[in-house]
Amino acid sequence: MVPLVHPFPGEQHSCITLNGMDDVWIENVTLDDVHVRYAGGGSAELAAKRNIPQTSREYFGVWSEEPCGPPAYGLFARNVRGLTLNNVRFTVANPDMRPAVVLDNVQDATIQSLSVQGNPAAESVLRFTRVKDVLLSASRLLSPAAAFLQLEGDANSNVIVDGGDLTKATSPVALEAGATRAAVKVRQ
């Protein structure tokens, strides 16, 4: 088998991307019955990216000194209103340090029957920043992880994790960078 060589570094670690830029919002997106197995291999450097350039290019950093590629291995969504994920499964062939899903400035999201792989050496499986009115129900963690969901910052509100199988996570929720317990409810 000949290894796949990508002409652009950012293509090596791609994901589904919904990227509203500046004050522009992407609205009413639904992903139903999506199952994707990615190559994996994303580094801790990619996972640590927080200042994602406001760019229409898919490579997230090709013009900067930061590592190229998105901070998630499955889905990166920024500036989205009305996001619905139903029966979505993201897995990786090789270990990946990035979260499966990163939501940044997302409002009114319903995530039902999400199945994702974790990595016990990574910070979390999902990372949410500046989110409002997000319902996660019947989520399933397929492999061990430190935290299922990491909330970051003090601009999060009304995040509900309702049921599912999160037993492979050391902690269902981690709070970072000023995130508060009042922003999230976990119902088992």
Other Cβ atoms closer than 10 A to 119: 24
The DSSP symbol for 59 reads: T
Query: Scanning the structure block, which residue is given the tokens 């830029």?
Result: 21
Tell me the CB-side half-sphere exposure of residue 95, using CA atoms within 13 A: 9
51 pLDDT band, cuts 50/70/90, is confident
Per-residue pLDDT tens digits for 30-43: 999 999 999 888 88
Q: Residue 49: what pLDDT?
A: 80
Domain ranges of the chain: 9-187
The pair phi, psi for residue 114, each rounded to 5°, is: -90, 125
Cβ distance 60 to 67 under 8 Å? no
Query: Scanning the structure block, which residue is given the tokens 């999400």?
Result: 114
Please give the distance of CA 125 from its chain centroid, rounded to a whole number. Answer: 7
% of the chain surpassing 90 pLDDT: 68
| pTM for the model | 0.88
Per-residue pLDDT tens digits for 123-180: 999 999 999 999 999 999 999 999 999 999 999 999 999 989 999 999 999 999 999 9
Please give the distance of CA 16 from its chain centroid, rounded to a whole number. Answer: 10
Q: Residue 6: what pLDDT?
A: 46
